[in-house]
Structure 1
Amino acid sequence: MMSVLLAMTGFAQIRRFPAPAGGRPGSTVLAGLLICCACLDGGFAGSLRAGEPASSDPSAWHGAHVVPSEVAARSQATDSVAAGLIAPAVPLTLSSNELVLLLTRALQERLDPEQGRLELQLLRPWTPVKVPEGPLELVVRELPATGLSPQFILRFELKSGDRSLGVWQTAVQARLWREVWVARTTIRRGTPLREAELVRETRDVLTLREPLADLDRPSPVELEAADVIPAGAPVLARAVRPRPVIRRGQLADAVLQDGALRISLKVEALEDGAPGQIVRIRNPVSRRDLYGRVIDAQTVQVSL
């Protein structure tokens, strides 16, 4: 019992002295020098233990590295074994929580920060793997050709320094959280987006099979709803379009410019058009159909 207490309190040197006069035969007295060190209680700087939050600074990782939680315990156990106090510690193992942390770090580094925050979960039980003491590096060897999806198979390699510990593959469930624009109320077709009620919400964008509308950057033209957007639905790219300034059946000026020569005539628009779009128009006199680029609400530029 005394040996265990000494090991727990951090006695680094053990000395035995003869028992005092009158003591029991064969008994000894243990004395030691108590060493107080912050690292015995708080761990070593730069290491990661189970249950502790990971650093959010990617530069602190140099890839995807982790120090298994048993490293500090094994280090103390080694000192105790040298003093002959306790039995050798069991080999270190990489737990499922530490593996998920490594996988998430490795994949997050491949993503643009604007793409969102990645969250992974193992779909199959992970058998803890014996690993050597020290930092571990995880290298992603193979990703699905289609990129990240809600579920996929991930192939990876574990390395300790220059030594490869092996290659594994596992099935994971992924979520990619990002703020997106969502319709607060139902938006009718043709409603200008500046008049629509839109809010920002954090959503898992991997569940969306279509690209989102980029509403964070100013558009050179006014946008409107191309279709009905239900309340609570994210705004998809196909759900918005440039707001037409020329409507089907409207009369407009068709302008033909060739150097100093400028010809203008009235034409009928056969389809809606926003600035910059090519629309079909018709000469009401000759009934000939032409194509022109929409300049504004009253002008279409025609080229030969």
Structure 2
Amino acid sequence: MQALLPVAALATACCAPAWAVPAQAWLRVELRPQVTVQHSSVRLADIAVLTSPDLGMLRRALAIPLGQAPRPGESAVLESERLGYWLRSRTGLREDQIDWRGPRQTAIVTAVQEIAGEQVAAQAQAALAEHLRSMARQKGLVLSRLDIDPVALPLSLEVPVQGRRLQVRPLNETRMGPRMLVWVDVFSGDRHVRAIPVRFEVAAFARLPVASHAMPAGSPVQADGMEMREIDVTAMPGLSGLSALPGGVQVDASAGADADPPVLRRALQAGDVVSADSLLARPAVVRGEWASLVTRQGPLSLESRVEVLQDGQPGQIVRARPANATGVLSVRVVGRGQLELQP
């Protein structure tokens, strides 16, 4: 049991504004033995039948606040003596102007409604599914299948009827994994009733390119070296590095081979996922191949043929050897097969 009017509230009652009342005014208060309130705050009208010849006083008395309703499963007891002190301080009535009828105390409980554990789990599951699909879209993946099963259903709980709602906490920072936790907050109006954890076993499948045979590091990735398979991406910690078609490689052999396929950063075994972080873009100039070197002298530009001695991407400085020469030049890569002599 709990008292509805806290001591702190009664201590400040002397400072509460009292109404100016005629000397002949009176108020009859008949407490109900037990009441069930539907809202989070309790007023005098909720617990008593009031009678007065002064309509204005009656309306104001009915609206006098008594405090917060008890939590579900608890009750509050309010005695007429305690209530009388509060009532006199708020109305300005004298003790002999208040006529008490009925029981000397009233028990207050809050009307509740049960929320099934299945309902909590279903809302958490829907939010988690949307979060996983959103994560996949950000990585260029389309989930072909999503299995989300609660490890155990939460227990049902009783909450106040008024304004009850479930709210799933944001999942923005939640990483994908085979086991995931979702928190659901239960509110009654603005009052937070409880936080419920719901754990799920998760499997999220996407069609991804995998190596059809073992390939060493540095080898070009061609369509005939990959095939599409349905993979559970929750078991892969490097989800951020995945791409459904890494480097723009066409998995369908009928689409034709890419003229400049990417190469493997590291060796892959048959069945390994070909992820974006396992690929390197093919160099703009390749060691051992020939490239065009442009030398600029004022308004003139001369073009010659050189042998590339280092792999390089645009903007990098590499070494090259002119045809029929033994000296080595430092040149800048400016494009595919294109070099420029540094001044």
Q: TM-score range by the shorter chain?
A: 0.5 to 0.7
Correspondence for 2:116 among 70, 91, 94: 94
Alignment of 1:1-304 (within 5 A): 92-95=114-117, 97-110=118-131, 111-112=133-134, 114=137, 115=141, 116=143, 118-123=146-151, 126-130=154-158, 138-143=166-171, 145=173, 147-159=175-187, 165-210=193-238, 211-215=241-245, 218=248, 221-244=260-283, 246-257=285-296, 260-273=299-312, 276=314, 278-282=316-320, 290-293=330-333, 295-297=335-337, 299-302=338-341
1:189 touches 1:227 (CA, 8 Å); kept in 2? yes
2:121 touches 2:154 (CA, 8 Å); kept in 1? no
Q: 1:106 to 1:162 in 2, by over 3 A?
A: farther
Name whichever structure is richer in helix by fraction.
2
**Matches of 1:138 and 1:270, distance apart in 2:** 65
Q: CA RMSD in A?
A: 4.0
**Matches of 2:303 and 2:226, distance apart in 1:** 42
**Matches of 2:308 and 2:317, distance apart in 1:** 7
2:114 touches 2:156 (CA, 8 Å); kept in 1? no
Q: Classify the secondary structure of the residue corresponding to 1:196.
A: helix
**Matches of 2:297 and 2:163, distance apart in 1:** 71
**Matches of 1:103 and 1:150, distance apart in 2:** 16
Query: Identical aligned pairs, as a percentage?
Result: 21
* Residues matched between the structures, number: 212
For structure 1, the 5+ residue unaligned runs are 1-89
| Structure with more relative contact order (C-alpha pairs < 8 Å, separation 6 or more) | 2
1:272 Cα deviation after fit: 2.0
Taking structure 1 as the reference length, the TM-score comes to: 0.53
**Matches of 1:109 and 1:167, distance apart in 2:** 21
1:293 Cα deviation after fit: 1.9
1:235 Cα deviation after fit: 0.8
Residue 293 of structure 1 aligns with an amino acid whose one-letter code is: V
Q: Deviations over 1:41-65 (max 9, x none)?
A: xxxxxxxxxxxxxxxxxxxxxxxxx
Residue 121 of structure 2 aligns with an amino acid whose one-letter code is: V
Residue 264 of structure 1 aligns with an amino acid whose one-letter code is: E
Residue 194 of structure 1 aligns with an amino acid whose one-letter code is: Q
**Matches of 1:132 and 1:231, distance apart in 2:** 58
